[in-house]
Chains A and B, each alone.
Chain A
Amino acid sequence: MLKDSWKEKTFKFVGIVKFFTRFAMLRIYKGLLFSLSLIALSFTQVYARHHAHKGGHGIEDHGDEVTNLGVHHEPGEFDAGKFVIEHVSDAYDWHILTWKNKHVSIPLPIILYSSHPELHGGKKFFVFMSSKFHHGHSDYKGFRISHTEENDGKIVELENGHEIGRPFDISITKTIAGIFFSVIIIFWIFLSVARSAKKNKGKAPKGLQNLVEPIIIFVRDEVAKPAIGDKKFERFMPFLLSVFFFILINNLIGLIPIPPFGANVTGNIAVTMVLALFTFAITTLSGNKHYWKEIYNPAGVPWWLKFPIPLMPIIELTGVLTKPFVLMVRLFANIIAGHLIVTVCVSLIFIFYSLMGIAGGWGISIVSVAFSVFILILDVLVSFIQAYVFTLLSALYFGMATSEHH
């Protein structure tokens, strides 16, 4: 499914080939680490389940309450699987730390639109802070943060204590808050750079401008110009630069583990989906006659691949749709993999602590911390690479959509 289309394969762009061979080893290495960490994750879940059974903290399967490992844990006991998944998942409040069974978190606004006003005192539209849910422990105005397998961690509507479905939920979640924060930083950086660019017209760049300008020139001269062509690249520069810096800054912010940093923005599939859809929309809207002709009636293909069964057009059209899909999945998977590996590394400390006691915990912590630092440094590199790849592929798609002849 992730296979790139025929056209993209044949599209020989020396830059990418060079680039991917250079980082091929790195990617293989990271893939190995990722699969290892997933194995470790599944192991800890099995272990935790086993442990929970042995501990005899009654897992009583009531009709409406499906077994959920996290819920049935004894307070204070560490569940690595839950810890890792919670870290990369979105949430209604921004968790900072848990201290002696007390959760310290930043409450975030919840915005709901319900199509069943009779369940919530006749109102349809709700705005309140997430602290009303007390970290998911209590219901509020007929809403609840679900713990069922189907809607785990999401807000559902209640009818007589039963969950009947989800309202239209446009809450400012942790990811959205992270996006807002990163957008503030992006605006601050680029508006001040623009101001100094206006002030220093024709002069040497200064300060922040000095940091940002080489990257802008890189995107212009190494990404946009070769991929789109000298004549048309200027039209796409604002989008390419915005997408590059949005991804880059969010990737880097995501690596800093202290709020208001550290929200998993580019590792959220909805975010990467919107970015990919923007690329898709721009590609489709700027596609010229030649581009559409190549899709519906590709030149140089035998007629029997096109006439009774339109095989090539189907393949080409699939390619048009897989391109943004690949963009979405690539960015999402790369970023979330980095986060998962680091959190698994950290949770190894607690797993070893519960297996071997305090000595085991301390012993493994040296390895874990060293490994996490290594992965984080690798992720800094990956942040740049993924921003570059997303921008480059977007530029290539724009180039394909606007090219006149081969």
Chain B
Amino acid sequence: MGFLEPNIGTIFWMSIIFFVVLYVLKKFAWKPILNALKERETSIENALNSAEEARKEVEGLKADNEKIIVQARKEKDIILKEAKEIKEKIIAEAKEKASAEAQKSIEKAREQIASEKAAAISEIKAQVADLSVMIAEKIIKTELEDKSKQKEMVKNTLDNLKLN
């Protein structure tokens, strides 16, 4: 079985060849290949990292947007509420004012009416007095045209006074 013994010549050549292979591959193959691999891995890792960062940023923006929207909605609600309140307030105020004004005018009218009434009454009274004086004058005038009548009346009056 000759193939079980290592042959000196084969060992000699194999040592030289393998040493050369090792040297050449190390210098001209493994170095650039492993460097390129490493470089690519780091660049892929960087790209992935930056993508992750960008994703996070976008997510942050989204969250911000949502926040802004929520806030805007809240503000809108508040504004609407305020507006409603103001509206109600204004209406209530207006109503109050209107009713007060109405009351005031009614009062005024009433006062005026009362004063007018008083004036009218006093005028009527004066006129009534005048009229009654005039009527009385006229009656007296007519009554006391003849002397008999005047005497009669005085007599009547005196009669009455006697009774008293």
Contact = CB atoms under 8 A, between A and B. Distances in A.
Interface in B1-53: 1-15, 17-18, 20-22, 24-26, 28-37, 39-40, 43
A96 to B, nearest CB: 20
B20 to A, nearest CB: 8
B12 to A, nearest CB: 5
Contacts of B15: 274, 277
A336 B2 CA distance: 13
A90 B3 contact: yes
A85 B34 contact: no
Interface in A324-375: 336
> Which secondary structure dominates chain A's binding surface?
helix
Contact of B7 (A187, A191, A242, A270): A270
Contact of B13 (A89, A179, A217, A336): A179
Contacts of B17: 176, 179-180, 183
A171 B39 contact: no
Contacts of A212: 33
A275 B40 contact: no
B26 A238 contact: yes
Interface stretch (A55-63, A71-79, A196-204): A196-204
A292 interface: no
Contact of A198 (B4, B18, B36): B36
Interface residues of B, number: 36
A278 interface: yes
A193 B11 contact: no
B25 A241 contact: yes
B55 to A, nearest CB: 22
A217 B41 CA distance: 11
Interface in A240-289: 241-242, 246, 267-271, 273-275, 277-278
A339 B25 CA distance: 29
Nearest to B1: A85
B3 A242 contact: no
Nearest to A149: B2
B19 to A, nearest CB: 8
A328 to B, nearest CB: 9
Nearest to B6: A270
A282 B66 CA distance: 64
Nearest to A172: B13
Nearest to B32: A194
A271 B10 contact: yes
Contact of A246 (B8, B21, B34): B21
A264 B1 CA distance: 15
B15 to A, nearest CB: 5
A213 B37 contact: yes
Contacts of B33: 190, 193-194, 197, 212-213, 216
B49 to A, nearest CB: 16
B21 to A, nearest CB: 6
A175 B25 contact: no
Contacts of B26: 238-239, 242
Contacts of B12: 170
Given A186-B25, A241-B25, A273-B11, A246 B18 contact: yes
A298 B59 CA distance: 58
Given A183-B21, A202-B40, A246-B18, A269 B28 contact: no
A274 B13 CA distance: 10
A169 interface: yes
Contacts of A216: 33-34, 37
Contact of A176 (B4, B10, B31): B10
A274 B2 contact: no
Nearest to A111: B9
A308 B7 CA distance: 41
A237 interface: yes
A241 B39 CA distance: 19
A201 B39 contact: yes
B13 A170 contact: yes
A168 interface: yes
A90 B12 CA distance: 15
B28 A194 contact: yes
- Max chain B CB contacts within 10 Å: which of A85, A111, A170? A170
Contact of A271 (B14, B28, B30, B43): B14
A175 B10 contact: yes
Interface string A116-146: 0000000000000000000000000000000
- The 10 A-B pairs with the shortest beta carbon distances in the complex, nearest first, are A270-B10, A270-B6, A238-B26, A197-B36, A190-B29, A274-B14, A170-B9, A194-B32, A194-B29, A238-B30
Given A111-B9, A169-B7, 14 more contacts: A90-B7, A170-B12, A180-B17, A191-B29, A194-B29, A197-B33, A198-B36, A238-B25, A238-B31, A242-B18, A242-B26, A271-B10, A271-B14, A278-B22
17 contacts: A89-B3, A154-B2, A170-B8, A175-B10, A183-B17, A193-B33, A194-B28, A197-B37, A216-B34, A220-B34, A220-B37, A238-B25, A241-B25, A270-B6, A270-B11, A271-B14, A278-B18
